[in-house]
A and B are shown apart, each in its own frame.
Chain A
């Protein structure tokens, strides 16, 4: 079983603040890193998939980076909005299985 860790566990920010959180994963057996957004009472929704060291992906105000050599990925949210409130999950894809972190719960206060 792969150990994927996310920090912080939870985060409260004011509307308009920028924020970031971390996903750490074993750099061996790495194939891809996935980020999901999981809003309350909804299904997890895919945000990004990254495979190459140094990859950077962006979707609107949300972006992510990947360092496969040291085994971490950062997710950034610029100018947080209340609708960004959700749990953000990362998963390391070994090619056969996804190993998920426990998630970072983000609350954006209006």
Chain B
């Protein structure tokens, strides 16, 4: 089955520790995205990558880092510099990035990160 996997589903970390969230896709999609959801807010874009070895900051990139060494993988590191890291994190992918109105995003199941 093709899809997007995120692991783990729930993650607990102590304040001050970096933590890496996994996102893997076997859809052969070029573009991948990381979003954050907080109560009462819409999904907000953290980082996106349109192609391997390239990524751009979204609206709320501060305190996060990413890498895109392989097409199928786009891990997100939440660093100790992120002031409010507790949130629900969603990964998505699309066939390609950029200008296409039919660029549907396919989502993973999400990881809920709690920083204690």
Contact = CB atoms under 8 A, between A and B. Distances in A.
Contacts of B101: 31-32, 49, 51, 93, 95
B2 interface: no
Interface magnitude class on chain A: 20 to 34
B62 interface: no
A100 B109 contact: no
B43 A100 contact: yes
Interface string A1-36: 100100000000000000000000000000110101
Nearest to A9: B40
A102 B104 CA distance: 19
Contacts, number: 55
B41 interface: yes
Interface residues of chain B: helix, strand, loop or mixed (majority): loop
Interface residues on B, range: 20 to 34
Contact of A93 (B33, B40, B103): B103
Contact of A46 (B33, B104, B108): B104
Nearest to B60: A1
A61 B109 CA distance: 25
B13 to A, nearest CB: 22
Contacts of B104: 34, 46, 49
A58 to B, nearest CB: 17
Nearest to B3: A43
A101 B98 contact: no
Given A49-B101, A93-B103, A96-B98, A102 B109 contact: no
Given A32-B101, A44-B107, A46-B104, A89 B43 contact: yes
6 contacts: A4-B42, A43-B106, A46-B105, A96-B99, A101-B42, A102-B40
Given A4-B42, A43-B109, A46-B105, 18 more contacts: A1-B59, A31-B99, A32-B102, A41-B109, A43-B4, A43-B90, A43-B110, A44-B90, A44-B107, A49-B101, A49-B102, A95-B99, A95-B101, A97-B48, A99-B42, A100-B42, A100-B44, A101-B42
